Amino acid sequence: MVLAIATAGGAGYAPGAPGTVGALVALPLFGLLARLPAVFYAAAVLGLLAVGIWAAGEAERIWQTKDDGRIVIDEVVGQLVSLAPLLALRGTGLDARTWAFLVVTGFVAFRCFDIWKPPPVRQAERHFAGGTGVMLDDVVAGLYGAVVVFAAARWLA
């Protein structure tokens, strides 16, 4: 079970770009969670973060590697953080094309920040050990992505 969580249901085993596949897993999950009140969305993301810290730490222990590429639950959580500003746009009459554009913007922004790891993303990864370090760098990358999504939404409004 721990490896199923850490790999986001097996997405982490995808050849080539498991992090990108892990981030893609978050998109339908976002579609479901975005229907909830913001407080429940936040609670779900925090719950996934807590479970992800545990699962990532255990996966590192099982695989005897640090931040193994197969661990992608961090990408799921980071992507959900990146898309969180879209919750404020619910019920605003935003057309489907603009909504899709903002989701894609959040996806691309998160992946860029996750790969590039500008400060303090890399520091979050290095400063914390185990599952916490695995998860927190993606949360910080997700926060950067959220800023981009928020700015894009303001620009389009």
The tens digit of pLDDT for each residue in 56-115 reads 999 999 999 999 999 999 999 999 999 999 999 888 888 999 999 999 999 999 999 999
AA identity, residue 71: I
Residue 157 reports pLDDT greater than 80: no
Domain total of the chain: 1
Q: How confident is the model at residue 124 (pLDDT cuts 50, 70, 90)?
A: confident
Supply angle C-alpha 26, 31, 36, rounded to 5. Answer: 115
Model-wide pTM > 0.85: yes
Q: Which domain holds residue 25?
A: 2-156
Alpha carbon separation from 124 to 7, 39, 61, 79, 84 (Å, rounded): 21, 25, 20, 17, 20
